Structure 1
Amino acid sequence: MKISGVDIRPGNIIEYENGIWKAVKIQHTQPGKGGAYMQVELKNVIDGRKTNVRFRSAETVEKVRLDTVEYQFLFADGDDLTFMHKENYEQIIVNRDMLGDQAAFLTDGMDVMLEMYDEKPISVQLPQFSEHEIVEADAVVKGQTASSSYKPAVLDNGVRIMVPPHITTGTRVVVDTGEVTYVKRAD
């Protein structure tokens, strides 16, 4: 499936220069002169090489069609993450690097989607939202609540995020696992 170069999003798997690449980071730039472009950091899913590519809106790339299979996270052993197929109970091990910063959001028994290319896992999709407890939050500075400022906080998995001033230690919050940002207070 062809997509425009400016429609690439983090996590997309594309075909580029006869290789299969995953978009890791993107930055949309619209200079004062000339057309807009998307600066994309790509990581080769086969050998792990990285490259930066600039895609203009007129350019198209081939988005790779992947088989998506539901797996359940079992446990971590060092940098190896073990997942189990939900139907035939077959286990598969992937390296923690495949998830990057998102690996911190894995919990035992979590259902994830593994994207396969030629029957090899190349990407792991976590649920979009995850619930966590705040274990450390800075105190609110007097007068700071008037503006829409955020303060740093640490989740129960050790990840640092920015939260609104009214969030305190012990509060359960919902976090966007893709953007690693605060969404709302948990119900």
Structure 2
Amino acid sequence: MATTNDLKNGMTLNLDGQLWNVIEFQHVKPGKGGAFVRTKMRSVLSGKVVEKTFNAGVKVEVASVEKRDMQYLYRDGDDFMFMDSANYDQISISKQVVGDAVDYMLENADAIVAMHEGNPLFIELPASVELVVTYTEPGLQGDRSSGGTKP
């Protein structure tokens, strides 16, 4: 248990039996009345974003979310196979859990998988990746405003 004063961005809360990620929060202390915490949270299961206001100091349940380093192996229909980098266990994650990350995943790429009670919640991809250009078309004559040096 934690209080609303301990909230941080990225924290996962268990409210009314559902898991919510804190996207942003703001501690507000008006001139008159008690302080409160205004939050914007995303549902882990549905992805729905809601704004919720708590009184300052109210206890909230922090969900135990374990983040594991995993490697994306391959796609099998609507499921994605990941391998745990620590113990080499392979797990299957549905397309619904992967979400928009499906458009940016490359085979054998690293990812962080958030797990709660053995179930994958969401996937975090690295902020940047290094790719190598293996082929490019030669530049066309007259197709540029400055001299082209591309082969």
TM-score, normalized by length of structure 1?
0.50
CA contact 1:68–1:116 (8 Å) conserved in 2: yes
Distance across 2 between alignment mates of 1:84 and 1:124? 13
* Stretches of structure 2 lacking an aligned partner (at least 5 in a row): 132-151
**What RMSD, in angstroms, separates the aligned Cα atoms of the two structures?**
3.5
Matches within 5 A, 1:73-152: 73-74=72-73, 82-86=81-85, 87-95=87-95, 106-127=105-126, 129-130=127-128
Q: Could you say if the C-alpha distance between residues 53 and 131 of structure 1 is closer, same or farther in structure 2, counting changes exceeding 3 Å?
A: same
Q: What is the aligned residue count?
A: 129
TM-score, normalized by length of structure 2?
0.59
How many Å apart are 1:40 and its aligned residue? 2.0
- Corresponding residue SS for 2:128: strand
CA contact 1:94–1:121 (8 Å) conserved in 2: no
CA contact 1:10–1:26 (8 Å) conserved in 2: yes
Deviations, residues 19-61 of structure 1 (Å, cap 9, x unaligned)? 22222x2131535424443322333334545432112331121
Q: Could you say if the C-alpha distance between residues 73 and 51 of structure 1 is closer, same or farther in structure 2, counting changes exceeding 3 Å?
A: same
Deviations, residues 63-96 of structure 1 (Å, cap 9, x unaligned)? 1113433311245789865433333352422436
Distance across 2 between alignment mates of 1:96 and 1:77? 14
Distance across 2 between alignment mates of 1:120 and 1:13? 14
Tell me which structure has the larger Cα radius of gyration: 2
